[in-house]
Copies of this chain bind each other. A is one copy, B any other.
Amino acid sequence: MVSNKELQEKRMRGYFIDAAKETLKGEGLKAVNVRTVAERAGYSFATMYNYFKDLNELIFICVKDFISECEAFADEQTDQQTPGSMRLRARIRAMIQYFTQYPGIFELFYLERMNNIGARQPTAEMIYLFADRIIQNDLDQMISSGEISAPDAEMLKISLRNGVAGLLLFYNNRLQPGDYRKFTETAEKQLTYLLGLPGIRH
């Protein structure tokens, strides 16, 4: 049972959160500032400070929401598949797709939030755990089916997490590879490469 006050406060926070999320998805991180977000929400910039400690807190909430959204997207893309290496690939593919669709979110996750001293530790940990969570289920399945040993699975997990972060980091800066088609091709090859390890029984 929530009071009117709580409900109203939640709505107000929602306006700002939505405005920030829209801006992040659309114009990207550099367009997010107190004044533009507040304008989009339909309030003065100072009003934000009545509902959030500071801009960091607001953006932190966006990160949490985007994590959920990305996980939901991966779930949705793979709900027909059974756990295992094929689904693992599909889930990573979904994650890559999500971040390339919203470069601003990638920037937020891997460049800005992690870089931020203030909210450093908790945010970075969240992002880090999220990347692992995306693939944990399938790795467990691969272990229990004897497809891979537990230590090899651990290495695979780290390699995938780091490799995907690096892959997106370079692509996000419009470099390598140049176009999207070539990028997905490289991503697929890299997945195949990382999954083609000696420890895995094919």
| Interface, chain A (partner B; CB < 8 A) | 30, 107, 110-112, 114-115, 117, 120-121, 124-125, 128, 155-156, 158-159, 161-167, 169-170, 172-176, 186, 189-190, 193-194, 196-198
Q: How far is the CB of A118 from chain B (nearest CB, A)?
A: 11
- A193 cross-chain contacts in B, Cβ below 8 A: 155-156, 159, 197
- CA of A198 to CA of B175, assembled, Å: 28
| CB-nearest residue of chain B to A194 | B159
| Chain A interface helix/strand/loop/mixed | helix
- CA of A165 to CA of B170, assembled, Å: 9
- A170 cross-chain contacts in B, Cβ below 8 A: 124, 128, 161-162, 165
Q: How far is the CB of A193 from chain B (nearest CB, A)?
A: 5
- A159 cross-chain contacts in B, Cβ below 8 A: 159, 163, 190, 193-194
Q: Are B114 and A173 interface neighbours, CB within 8 A?
A: yes
Q: 6 A-B residue contacts at CB 8 Å?
A: A114-B172, A162-B163, A162-B167, A163-B166, A193-B197, A197-B197
- In-complex Cβ contact of A165 among B117, B121, B124, B169 (8 A): B169
This protein's copies in its complex = 2
Q: How far is the CB of A46 from chain B (nearest CB, A)?
A: 26
- CA of A157 to CA of B110, assembled, Å: 22
Q: How far is the CB of A177 from chain B (nearest CB, A)?
A: 10
| CB-nearest residue of chain B to A121 | B174
- CA of A174 to CA of B173, assembled, Å: 24
- CA of A59 to CA of B119, assembled, Å: 25
- A125 cross-chain contacts in B, Cβ below 8 A: 175
Q: Are B124 and A115 interface neighbours, CB within 8 A?
A: no
